[in-house]
Homo-oligomer: A and B are copies of this chain.
């Protein structure tokens, strides 16, 4: 009953198989091996972007920070929402990689609103005293489990373009969003005006691989140098490539995401009527309130997930918000067992 995060589960056997296949004989280092080159080609094909500059790194924080640092100057601001991963969960990595840019928080939701964005950019000064306008960053699916529609992204991109700003898409849960929208990666990115996207693998079944896709290949050299300078260029790059190869093969990435979303839907259905559901869960993440005693009971039975408040002390009948995340590996039995505990 691990609902803590989609980084809790094991990787599917296809990934181990891909690693084993890649583990034959010598290979050139730093991404100059045939497998790495094949994976770049495959990602370009998947994204219908034959000229894209495509890079693999091992963590989402590295992917986001390096992507942003390729566009944003140290004296710039990045427009994003308050709960953005880049704001809340990366220990100032974006500030580090950009050399000190500022994150300018817009609105109070996880979903960036195009009008709010325009107003925030307008409000930001252009004098030499002010942080300059650097980039817009959104997360798809968001940190609260919501999904921008293709129209939403296009509207945000239109605002960004009006000010000459690039649009960055943090796609730690890219696949879950694609599955929810039933759209192609190209539709969710460059066709909607995204300039650089992170195609996440780690939260969706890989050990630790994220692809950074620049639809404008002009940023390629700068990214390469910043990646190396950040210590994120793997010498034995084939083992990143192998994971991504397994992930792309036969659309495994999409199957895993669909499965994670479906598991979450099962949990959501079970919680509905019992818990107070926050927002409208669209992918594999649910925020919901249950009485403290039910969380305590579940924890005592071995469940593991985040509560926004202490569950051991305090009024036992008081509702406490919890975050549930399902990945592909969680079984229906575990979900049902959890539901039994909190509804029983």
**C-beta contact mask, A205-220 vs B, less than 8 Å → 1, else 0?**
0011000000000000
Report the bound CA distance from A148 to B52 in whole Å: 46
Number of residues on chain A facing chain B (CB within 8 A): 76
Taking CB atoms, residues of chain B closer than 8 Å to A23 are 10-11, 16
Determine whether A202 belongs to the interface, using a CB cutoff of 8 Å to chain B: yes
Determine whether A226 belongs to the interface, using a CB cutoff of 8 Å to chain B: yes
Report the bound CA distance from A272 to B28 in whole Å: 27
With known contacts A93-B231, A128-B91, A233-B128, A4–B16 Cβ distance under 8 A: no
Determine whether A224 belongs to the interface, using a CB cutoff of 8 Å to chain B: yes
Determine whether A149 belongs to the interface, using a CB cutoff of 8 Å to chain B: no
Taking CB atoms, residues of chain B closer than 8 Å to A132 are 91, 225
Report the bound CA distance from A91 to B23 in whole Å: 28
Listed stretches A97-105, A262-270, A287-295, A316-324; interface member = A97-105
Taking CB atoms, residues of chain B closer than 8 Å to A222 are 73
Determine whether the beta carbon of A100 is less than 8 Å from that of B95.
Answer: yes
Determine how close the nearest CB of chain B comes to the CB of A172; give it in whole angstroms: 10
Determine whether the beta carbon of A58 is less than 8 Å from that of B16.
Answer: no
Taking CB atoms, residues of chain B closer than 8 Å to A24 are 10
Determine whether the beta carbon of A228 is less than 8 Å from that of B10.
Answer: no
Q: How many copies of the polypeptide does the oligomer hold?
A: 4
Taking CB atoms, residues of chain B closer than 8 Å to A160 are none
Determine how close the nearest CB of chain B comes to the CB of A209; give it in whole angstroms: 10
Determine whether A230 belongs to the interface, using a CB cutoff of 8 Å to chain B: yes
Determine whether the beta carbon of B207 is less than 8 Å from that of A91.
Answer: no
**Which listed residue, B8, B30, B91, B239, touches A229 by the CB 8 Å rule?**
B91
Determine whether the beta carbon of A102 is less than 8 Å from that of B93.
Answer: no
**Which listed residue, B2, B26, B95, B128, touches A9 by the CB 8 Å rule?**
B26
Determine whether the beta carbon of A226 is less than 8 Å from that of B75.
Answer: yes
Report the bound CA distance from A49 to B229 in whole Å: 31
Determine whether A281 belongs to the interface, using a CB cutoff of 8 Å to chain B: no
With known contacts A4-B28, A26-B10, A235-B208, A74–B92 Cβ distance under 8 A: yes
**C-beta contact mask, A26-63 vs B, less than 8 Å → 1, else 0?**
11111000000000000000000000000001111111
Determine whether A19 belongs to the interface, using a CB cutoff of 8 Å to chain B: yes
Taking CB atoms, residues of chain B closer than 8 Å to A19 are 16, 19, 207
**Which listed residue, B7, B59, B131, touches A92 by the CB 8 Å rule?**
B131
Taking CB atoms, residues of chain B closer than 8 Å to A203 are 235
Taking CB atoms, residues of chain B closer than 8 Å to A227 are 128
Determine how close the nearest CB of chain B comes to the CB of A321; give it in whole angstroms: 14
Report the bound CA distance from A130 to B25 in whole Å: 28
Interface residues of A in 145-183 (CB under 8 A from B): none
**Which listed residue, B4, B60, B101, touches A29 by the CB 8 Å rule?**
B4
Taking CB atoms, residues of chain B closer than 8 Å to A129 are 88-91, 228
Determine whether the beta carbon of B228 is less than 8 Å from that of A91.
Answer: yes
